[in-house]
């Protein structure tokens, strides 16, 4: 595969949308055009490949999109792509247009699909980590995380105002079904007394004891940030336990939900998306295939897609120690 000459590149966004995807699309399109390559946008992720919903793109196709959230190529889940017949159909559609390489912007599931597709049909693929969860190994940041966590911080700061006014305990649920990075970062940044994440076993007795002790010394304003995939399932279940154990606690729940996915991407997300998109095309031209383009210590880092799929970004226990110390 390293001897392939790339002439036509397809780009798609897959899985959950994340702010900065448009900046990545823009970088892929314009870098491809700079090198004399043709570039095609594949609509709705792998669904567009299967259904032949593919459009030719030029420089004007990506004008005025770098500041927009979401993805102009749209995204979707595709059950048909899980089966060989669906992937073969997708390959035939690419072949009919002469598309000989793919740039896939998405998360873990998107990379799994790209790796399998590449092995079966000898199509070079490059992955760009586009997910607000920041749960992919091989990169310090993923496209969309910075914007999502700043959205959460801004919302929690506003919630704190009403917490202070009413002496309340607020349990704020943020996104993160399998990864607690948004909860961890936003919780530390907003001074949360407790942070509940999927990666760490939660000691409910410790939480109850901490809140009881704070109530005794008249510290009635408390914040718990919980990831949606936390041990208790959701914020309402945790709230019910606390209300049962501490009936005097004035407890409220706020679920931030999909507001974290939207909005104009931050400067940081625009920069890393542009950087990664540029190097995705450069990588194809250099014959470096089937890798994910990441950033480690502010330098571009390449990780084989196979490893990116199997490995997960891990949260160090020292972070939880910091939470306890700073919240005391």
pLDDT above 80 (res 327): no
Active site residues: 133
Could you give the C-alpha distances from 182 to 92, 100, 133, 163, 217, in angstroms and in order?
Answer: 40, 36, 7, 21, 30
Could you give the C-alpha distances from 323 to 187, 193, 315, 317, in angstroms and in order?
Answer: 8, 7, 13, 10
pLDDT above 80 (res 10): yes
Residue pair 22/41 in contact by the 8 Å Cβ criterion: no
pLDDT above 70 (res 305): yes
pLDDT above 90 (res 205): no
Domains and CATH numbers, the chain: 8-144+265-310 (3.40.50.450), 146-261 (3.40.50.460)
H helix or E strand, kind and range, residue 136 = none
For residue 167, give both structure tokens.
Answer: 């002496």
> pLDDT tens digits for 76-102?
889 999 999 999 999 999 999 999 999
Sort 293 into a burial class: Cβ within 10 Å, 0-12 / 13-18 / 19+: buried
Nearest residue to 265 (alpha-carbon basis) of 14, 26, 11: 26
Q: In the β-sheet with 194-196, what is the strand arrangement from edge to edge?
A: 194-196, 222-227, 169-174, 251-255
pLDDT above 90 (res 124): yes
How far apart CA 100 and CA 174 sit, in angstroms, is 39
Name the residue with tokens 């491809």: 32
Residue pair 285/6 in contact by the 8 Å Cβ criterion: yes
Facing residues of 170 across strands? 223, 252
Q: Strand locations in 36-145, DSSP E?
A: 38-42, 54-57, 101-106, 125-129
pLDDT at position 1: 47
> pLDDT tens digits for 12-36?
999 999 999 999 999 999 999 999 9
pLDDT at position 328: 63
pLDDT above 90 (res 4): no
Could you give the C-alpha distances from 113 to 89, 105, 130, 186, 328, in angstroms and in order?
Answer: 14, 12, 15, 31, 45
């Amino acid at each position: 595969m390293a001897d392939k000459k790339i002439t036509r590149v397809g780009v798609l966004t897959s899985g959950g949308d994340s702010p900065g995807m448009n900046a990545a699309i823009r970088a892929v399109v314009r870098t491809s055009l700079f090198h004399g390559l043709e570039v095609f946008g594949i609509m709705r992720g792998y669904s567009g490949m299967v259904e032949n919903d593919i459009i030719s793109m030029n420089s004007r196709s990506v004008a005025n999109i770098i500041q927009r959230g979401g993805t102009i190529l749209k995204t979707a889940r595709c059950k048909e792509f899980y089966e060989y017949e669906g992937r073969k159909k997708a390959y035939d559609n690419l072949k009919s247009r002469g598309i000989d390489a793919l740039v896939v912007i998405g998360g873990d599931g998107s990379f799994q699909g790209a790796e399998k597709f590449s092995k079966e049909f000898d199509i070079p693929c490059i992955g760009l980590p586009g997910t607000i969860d920041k749960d992919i190994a091989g990169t310090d940041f993923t496209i969309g995380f910075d914007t999502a966590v700043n959205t959460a911080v801004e919302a929690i700061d506003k919630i704190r105002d009403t917490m202070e006014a009413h002496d309340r305990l607020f349990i704020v649920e943020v996104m993160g079904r399998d990864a607690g990075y948004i909860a961890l970062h936003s919780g530390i940044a907003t001074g949360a007394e407790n942070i509940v994440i999927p990666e760490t076993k939660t000691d409910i007795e410790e939480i109850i004891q901490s809140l009881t002790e704070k109530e005794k010394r008249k510290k009635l304003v408390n914040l718990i940030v919980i990831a949606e995939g936390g041990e208790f399932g959701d914020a309402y279940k945790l709230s019910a336990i606390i209300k049962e154990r501490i009936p005097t606690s004035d407890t409220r729940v706020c679920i931030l939900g999909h507001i974290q996915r939207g909005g104009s991407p931050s400067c940081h997300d625009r920069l890393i998306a542009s950087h990664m998109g540029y190097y995705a095309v450069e990588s194809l031209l250099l014959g470096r295939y089937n890798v994910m383009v990441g950033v480690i210590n502010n330098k571009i880092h390449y990780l084989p897609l196979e490893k990116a799929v199997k490995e997960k970004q891990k949260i160090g226990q020292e972070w939880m120690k910091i939470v306890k110390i700073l919240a005391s």
